[in-house]
Amino acid sequence: MTYCVGVLVKEGLVMIADTRTNAGVDNIATFRKLHTFEVPGDRVISLATAGNLSVSQTAFSLLTEGIEDTETGRMETLLTVPTMSKAAHLVGNAIRQVYAIDGIEMEKHNMSFDVTMLLGGQIGHAPMRLYQVYSAGNAIEATVDTPFLQIGEPKYGKPILDRAVTYGTSLVEALKLGLISMDSTLKSNLGVGLPIDILVSKRDSLAAGVNYRIQDDEPYFRDLRESWSAALRAAHQAIPHPPYTDGFL
């Protein structure tokens, strides 16, 4: 399993991904799932992957080695594509090529061709964008109404995002909320594990301002987990008792 979340707010982009892969609960390993393609002053692009590891690694190789653009005949990578929408098409094409290479054979062995990716970033002074690309290579895009996208195990970490994240949320709050969302997932799904990789990019900075890995023993993340739990306890205790329990509880 995997949990990755991307949040695109007015101030910029946050991408967070865990690093655990597992084939059953008795075979776990650590693999980076968050990748950054940065040319300072030109572009910053972040790619997070979930699903079958062989599919996502093969697609990632294609995206770094280059895929032919059928319109122009040029080989393109995420470091060369001219726009974010073309970057989303490139990721979709990479997934389709992996399907052509491995997908049909995988299905013969009852392995589902299962991959999803989050692609966020900015190229030049065109708008910053955040996409989710599916196994079929098609994509959806985050909007002002729904400024976050999740892949892998989305449910445990969704309530806090639903309640607190809007397009106007500041970038640092979006980061903290993403970390809380990750923590809720870590607590409930053993297939999601530390270390956690983070990318934060301010809109129009065209750079990865924060490109950081949270290790197992990091004091800030430990404190965030503890203070969040303490704050939740204080918050529910502050809510008045239901009127229909009067005289009984």
Report, in Å, the least distance between residue 230 CB and a second copy: 9
Q: How far is CA 110 from CA 55, 107, 114, in A?
A: 15, 5, 12
Sequence-ordered list of residues with C-beta below 8 angstroms from that of 101, at least 6 positions apart, any chain = 58
Contact residues toward a second copy (CB under 8 A) are: 155-160, 162-164, 170-173, 175-177, 179-180, 184, 187-188, 200, 202, 209-210, 212, 220, 223-224, 227-229, 231-245, 248-249
Closest of 147, 150, 152 to residue 164, by C-alpha: 147
Taking the complex as a whole, how short is the minimal distance between the CB of residue 63 and a second copy, in angstroms? 27
In Å, how far are 74, 86, 91, 93, 107 from 59, measured between CA atoms? 18, 16, 8, 9, 17
Q: Which residue, 125 or 163, is less far from a second copy as judged by CB?
A: 163
Question: What sign does the dihedral 157-148-151-44 (CA atoms) show?
Answer: negative
Phi/psi region, residue 206 (left: phi>0; alpha: psi -120 to 50; beta: rest), is: left
Q: In this structure, are residues 226 and 234 in contact, taking their beta carbons and an 8 Å threshold?
A: no
d(C-alpha 69, C-alpha 54), whole Å: 23
| Closest separation in Å from C-beta 49 to a second copy | 22
In the DSSP assignment, the letter for residue 77 is -
The nearest distance, CB 150 to a second copy, in angstroms, is: 11
Pick 134 or 212: Cβ nearer a second copy: 212
Q: How far is the CB of 187 from a second copy (least distance, A)?
A: 5
By beta-carbon proximity to a second copy, the closer residue of 25 and 238 is 238
Which residue number, 39 or 232, has a Cβ lying nearer to a second copy? Answer: 232
- CA–CA dist 246, 82 (Å, integer): 65
Residue whose pair of structure tokens reads 């991959």 in the numeric block? 115
For the bound state, the minimum distance from the C-beta of residue 214 to a second copy, rounded and expressed in Å, comes to: 9
Least spacing, CB of residue 244 vs a second copy, in Å: 5
Nearer residue to a second copy within complex by CB, 93 or 181: 181
Nearer to a second copy, 95 or 180 (CB): 180
Q: Which is nearer to a second copy, 10 or 158 (CB)?
A: 158
